[in-house]
Amino acid sequence: MGGLRMSTRDFLLEIGTEELPPKSLFTLARALADGLVSGLGSAGITHGEVQWFATPRRLATRIAALAEQQPDQTLKRQGPAVAAAFDSAGRPSKAALGFAASCGVSVEQLDQVEGPKGKVLQYVGVKRGGLTAQILPQLVAQALKELPIAKRMRWGNSTEEFVRPVHWVVMLLGRDVLDAHVMGIQADRQSRGHRFHAQGPLSIEEPRLYEEVLRTRGKVLVDVTERSATIERGVKALAQSLGGTAVIKAELLEEVTALVEWPVPLAGRFDASYLALPQEVPIATMQDHQRYFPVRDASGKLMNHFITVANIESSDPSKVRDGNERVVRPRLADAAFFWETDRKRALHERCEALGQVTFHNQLGSLLDKTRRVQSLAVQVGSAIDGNTALVQRAAELAKCDLLTLMVGEFPELQGVMGRYYASADGEPAEVCTAIEEHYWPRFAGDALPTTTAGLAVAVADKLDTITGIFATGQKPSGTRDPFGLRRAALGILRILLERSLDLDLRGLVTEALRLQPLSSGPELIEEVWSYLMERLRSSYLESAQGISTEMFDAVLGSQARSPLDMQRRLQALQGFLGLPDAAALSSANKRIANLLRKAPDFSAAIAEERLAAGAEQELFTKLLSVETAVAPLFAEREYAPALSRLASLRQPVDRFFDDVMVMVEDVAVRNNRLALLQRIRQLFLQVADLSRLPG
């Protein structure tokens, strides 16, 4: 552009709708902004900062400093060879005339340039950039079409489809309204404010005034961050005025932010008698069913207060408060009834009834799953020095609370209520805790089980689900993971690594598959193991610990079966790769592996009398010395010092390859040398397969 500065204007898009689904609101808003940015990028239109906005009744994007025109493009097209473009008299051929016509120029205006096979005709021209104002409607339509909407709907007589009916569209480029039809509606500058506080149109004169107009004249906080902060600040202040502290769960704060446009926190209360229930029950009632924020006192005890966030600034707040109190009262009364009724039967009395509940149509009932988990959990518990009787009892009772009235109404309390009911029945404390803990971790960053029984049942339950679903052929694919196998796999790995459980995971996979009602073989064992190892690989690569995929493959190639043992090997390998001899030994291992692949059939025994004097004998002597030194280190899994000792093989290995021909004609000598190299390789394989490292 020769240093000329292209003129720019801000752009605003607002899609006004009926109430949008709160759980997908912010995903849709981000996707709309991302789609517009992607379209602008493809069109070569430059821009500045991008902001997205969302309320229950609108999705909006503002893009600063949008270039008013696409940049010009230099076009180059090559046509027929010059030899075929002109006849002997120099007149243009049909091929030349056709090419020139397709370029919109005469033959005389074409250049002749060198091509791959001689001179060809070439057209060089400039395509003028389109006006952004004319391109934007297409980009908006495409971005809306590509939104991740699970189910689109139609409204009225319109053939348009969207997540909810669309009632207005704002499209401004600077102060100008773009001439566009979006979702069957002519775009203009008229937005709308709060449904009750600001009826009638709101004129947006230019994009930069968007938030201000909606806040001051529309009673709408369109900025999500501002609205969330306003809610959090108001809820905390109100809780403090009640002498307590609000329980503000991030997911609930986000959902409430998606439900309101003009947040007004209000305090309510409920009968103190409901505080006698397990505290998780009124909390679940308030948080998950009513979208209220519970309040705790200074000692952490739940108070009989809650805070709700209204979407209206009522002239009589007491009526709003009374309405919310009336709604929560029967909910808590139902919970109290469930609590009393459930405790009339001991938890273990529900075990046999699990046989009437299908876990999976190919894997049997919940009772079948319970028995498989019991068997596997006892094996895990024994390996980690747990009390196997407590482990077996915890596994037996783990799913029983699924048949209680309370968990039927509050599924999110599975495990939690099992702990309470088991405790009321007089079950051992570890069993009660393990019933709740066996679901842990439920999500990334969640707490891990603390009891031995909880650890054993958690690993067994998750592994039973993974192997069972794999056995049915319904393994995860792409983004589809309906059974939560990825979460289960990561949960197992976190437990083993963060709780330092040195378990033979591959052996447990084999046993878990053996317990399934469906037949399985070595291929399925390998498939499940590979799935777990891919999750482990990803967790290392995402953790910024400096572990590369080649390092992970090197340790995986050593046939380690315990993730904790693999972690120790990876840490040792990291240190080893910093040694000056590491690169040479990695290359030597690669060379050894290649030689052994070429000669698979030979005796592994070394005949010392066949070793030639010099480099060959020297390497064997050094090997014996190193083997003696590292044997106790390997026995204790002290991999770092073991690798340091193995590094001393570098010089004799180098001399061996410099001075000794391995693949000689004499079969006995050749096999003896291969046996020597294999013994070196086996020594390194007790830590990692260095041949898989780069270099």
- Residue carrying structure tokens 């596994």: 395
Q: Extract the residue ranges of the chain whose pLDDT is less than 50.
A: 1-4
Q: Minimal CA–CA distance to 563: which of 519, 601, 533, 595?
A: 533
Per the CB < 8 A criterion, the answer to whether 85 and 95 are in contact is: yes
CA 400 to chain centre: 31
Q: Phi then psi for 109, rounded to 5 degrees?
A: -85, 0
Give the C-alpha separation, 386 to 140, whole Å.
Answer: 61
Q: Where are the alpha helices (DSSP H) in 298-403?
A: 317-342, 366-383, 388-397
Compute how many other C-beta atoms are within 10 angstroms of the C-beta atom of residue 444. Answer: 9
pLDDT score for 479:
79
CA 686 to chain centre: 33
Contacts of 496 (CB under 8 A, 6+ apart): 459, 503, 505, 562, 563, 564
Residues in the chain: 695
Fold of the CATH domain 567-692: Isoleucyl-tRNA Synthetase; Domain 1 (1.10.730)
Domain with CATH 3.30.70.260 in the chain: 8-70+131-216
471-474-477 Cα angle (round to 5): 130
pLDDT score for 128:
80
pTM of this structure:
0.83
For the four alpha carbons of 225, 228, 230 and 232, in that order, the dihedral sign comes to negative
Give the C-alpha separation, 100 to 109, whole Å.
Answer: 8
Listed in order, strand segments (DSSP E) in 39-72 are 50-55, 58-67
Q: Minimal CA–CA distance to 284: which of 292, 275, 276?
A: 292
Fold of the CATH domain 348-544: Hypothetical protein af1432 (1.10.3210)
pLDDT score for 545:
85
Domain with CATH 1.10.730.10 in the chain: 567-692
Give the C-alpha separation, 250 to 410, whole Å.
Answer: 20
- Residue carrying structure tokens 């596997």: 376
Give the C-alpha separation, 345 to 332, whole Å.
Answer: 21
Per the CB < 8 A criterion, the answer to whether 468 and 520 are in contact is: no
Q: Minimal CA–CA distance to 198: which of 55, 377, 378, 363?
A: 55
pLDDT score for 695:
63
Q: Minimal CA–CA distance to 359: which of 346, 372, 374, 345?
A: 372
DSSP assignment string, 303-315: EEEEEEEESS--S
Per the CB < 8 A criterion, the answer to whether 467 and 514 are in contact is: no
Q: Is 483 helix (H, G, I), strand (E, B) or coil?
A: coil
Q: Where are the alpha helices (DSSP H) in 476-562?
A: 485-498, 505-515, 522-542, 549-556
Give the C-alpha separation, 569 to 643, whole Å.
Answer: 10
Q: Which bin fits 595, alpha (ψ -120 to 50), beta or left (φ > 0)?
A: alpha
pLDDT score for 459:
98
Q: Minimal CA–CA distance to 10: which of 48, 43, 44?
A: 48
- Retrieve residue 393's tokens: 């009892």
Compute how many other C-beta atoms are within 10 angstroms of the C-beta atom of residue 505. Answer: 26
**CATH number among 2.60.40.640, 3.40.190.10, 3.20.20.70, 3.30.70.260, domain 8-70+131-216:** 3.30.70.260
Per the CB < 8 A criterion, the answer to whether 19 and 56 are in contact is: yes
- Beta strand 176-177 with 166-173 is antiparallel
- Retrieve residue 665's tokens: 């004609």
Q: Is 480 helix (H, G, I), strand (E, B) or coil?
A: strand
H/E stretch holding 231: helix 224-241
Half-sphere exposure in the Cβ direction for 358 (13 Å, CA): 4
Query: Which DSSP state fits 197?
Result: T
pLDDT score for 507:
97
Q: Minimal CA–CA distance to 345: which of 428, 422, 277?
A: 422
Give the C-alpha separation, 490 to 446, whole Å.
Answer: 11
Contacts of 100 (CB under 8 A, 6+ apart): 79, 92, 106, 107, 109, 110, 121, 123
Contacts of 210-214 with C-beta under 8 Å, sequence gap 24+, read: 210/12, 210/14, 210/53, 210/60, 210/62, 211/53
pLDDT score for 90:
86
- Retrieve residue 94's tokens: 């049909």
pLDDT score for 157:
84
pLDDT score for 641:
95
pLDDT score for 460:
98
Tens of pLDDT, residues 570-582: 999 999 999 888 8
Per the CB < 8 A criterion, the answer to whether 639 and 568 are in contact is: yes
In the chain, % helix, strand, coil (3-state, to 5) comes to 55, 15, 30
Per the CB < 8 A criterion, the answer to whether 234 and 257 are in contact is: no
